Amino acid sequence: MGAVTVLPTFLSANKLLVFVCLIVLSLKEGYATAEAETHTIHVASLSPSSVCTPPATAKGLDKKSSLQVIHKHGPCSQLHEEKANIPTHAQILLLDEVRVKSIHSKLAKNLGSVNVMKKDAAANLPAKDGSMVGSGNYIVTTGLGTPKNNLRLIFDTGSDITWTQCQPCLRSCYKQQDPIFSPSSSSTYSNVSCSSAACTSLNSATGNSPGCSSSTCVYGIEYGDSSFSIGFFAKEKLTLTSNIVFDNFLFGCGQNNQGLFGGAAGLLGLGRNKLSLPSQTAIKFKKIFSYCLPSSPSSTGFLKFGNDGLSKSVKFTTLSTIPGGESFYGITIIAMSVGGKKLSISASVLAAGGAIIDSGTVITRLPPTAYSVLRSAFRKQMNHYPMAKSLSILDTCYDFSKYSTVSIPKISLFFEKDVEVPIDARGILYVNSISQVCLAFAGNSNDFDVLIYGNTQQKTLEVVYDGTRRMLGFRTGGCT
């Protein structure tokens, strides 16, 4: 507020009334503006729920073309993980850091040469380093084989090949909730030959040259956390919904698998490689799919294929290609704002290492120069709340234990084509406990590492991928 104004004694009563009204309106407008630039959060709502409460309605969710998305560690997952096996938030963030380093390694110019797999590759671990971690957060249920076997798979835009564990497990299979798929029990299963073009394509999809066992193509993929899947490359009937079935879908039938996949049966690859699900189903869906990640692990979202019923309110920006990472969905972020004010970050800083959007990375990674500006602006507007100790990679945390409600500044990302994407309140914060609530952003090691737009900041948005037109769309309030 400005300095106090002394009223002239000659003002009439009517003029005085008008003057007072103007001051009141000015104050109201100031409060309204401040309110519009912040999220008010009930602290009790930050505590995790043990009850699955999916939204009553879901715009765009059509069971004819959509799969339900659930958080693999939440009460909606029904994977019934033992409490001792559910990772802590510190462990989740550590795995996330490993994934990010894997992505950076894959994109590094000095990446080592592809390792050729041995003839008995079905029983050997590929030594290629630099693939992404396979332990993403969100799962969907798909059908495989004839008769259909329902399998819960992690979906990942940063991976290309789809795979599931298969009987017999020649070396090992990790524990999964669904029965392990048995190729011998399916009338539509067939192996892919070593001489086929599909087998040759594995090199770009997995980062490993394929192997060969008795003329059958052998795939192998290792993730940055040492998780891996090795087995026969095959064709099978894929059932996405009761109305969407694809014959001869190429997938990995893993007979030697180890990893931290949280009880899921494997992975659904949504990347840009020609072996990914969007590419294999391009004739029907034109490489268009969308998803909405729920606001919390106790709620649900969706993964939808095709553009039927796509909302006109979706705002589109352009997709680009990252050199050395053609399977990733490249994006261009040109600005950021905190509390309604754009930050003094040049577009060249945000573009220095390129940028991607990734459903499997938890925390958005910014160039350290940009993160420093974001952190400073956020801390300035949160300086009336007591800070808490850092949580792993998250260094801006607060103790809300003595508050019933808190106000946090809104954050938006700005993309090419004049697209502003406001981040949901639950996408700004990462909650370990009420006494340790952190800003859900982190900085890369240097400004030339690729910027990664992670899944925490994508919560409640409908994110639309149009691979044919090379466009990426956003719609707020996408899950409910």
Residue that has been written with the tokens 């789809």 in this structure: 162
Using an 8 Å Cβ cutoff, are 395 and 327 in contact?
A: no
Closest CA to 184 of 167, 201, 202, 208: 167
Long-range contacts of the stretch 116-120 (C-beta < 8 A, 24+): 116/209, 117/208, 117/209, 117/210, 117/211, 117/218, 117/220, 118/211, 119/211, 119/212, 119/213, 120/211, 120/213
Give the H or E element holding residue 283: helix 282-285
The pair of structure tokens assigned to 456 is: 């925490």
End-to-end C-alpha distance for the chain, whole angstroms:
39
What are φ and ψ of residue 137, in 5° steps? Answer: -90, -30
> Which DSSP category does 262 fall into?
T
Degrees (nearest 5) of the Cα angle 245, 248, 250? Answer: 105
Residue 397 tokens, joined: 């945390």
* Helix spans in 313-424 (H): 347-351, 368-381
Q: Which amino acid is at 213?
A: S
Round to whole Å and give the CA distance between 308 and 461: 18
Q: How far is Cα 454 from Cα 462, in angstroms, rounded to an integer?
A: 14
Alpha helices in 382-431 (DSSP H): 425-428
What token pair was written down for 136?
A: 């993403």
Paired strand residues for 256: 230
Q: How far is CA 242 from the centre of its chain?
A: 26
Separation of alpha carbons 99 and 160, rounded Å: 15
Rounded to whole angstroms, the maximal C-alpha distance in the chain is 103
Which of 358, 424, 447, 466 is catalytic? The answer is 358
Buried b (16+ CB within 10 A) or exposed e, 310-327: beeebbbbebbebeebeb
Please tell me what DSSP assigns to residue 80.
-
Asked about 358 being catalytic, the answer comes back as yes
**CA dist., res. 327 & res. 356, Å (int):** 10
Phi and psi of 96, rounded to 5°? -65, -40
Of residues 156, 178, 424, 449, which has the active-site annotation? Answer: 156
C-alpha 125/C-alpha 136 separation (Å) is 21
- Count the alpha carbons within 13 Å of 226 in the hemisphere toward its beta carbon: 0
129 belongs to the catalytic site: no
Residues acting as catalytic residues: 156, 358
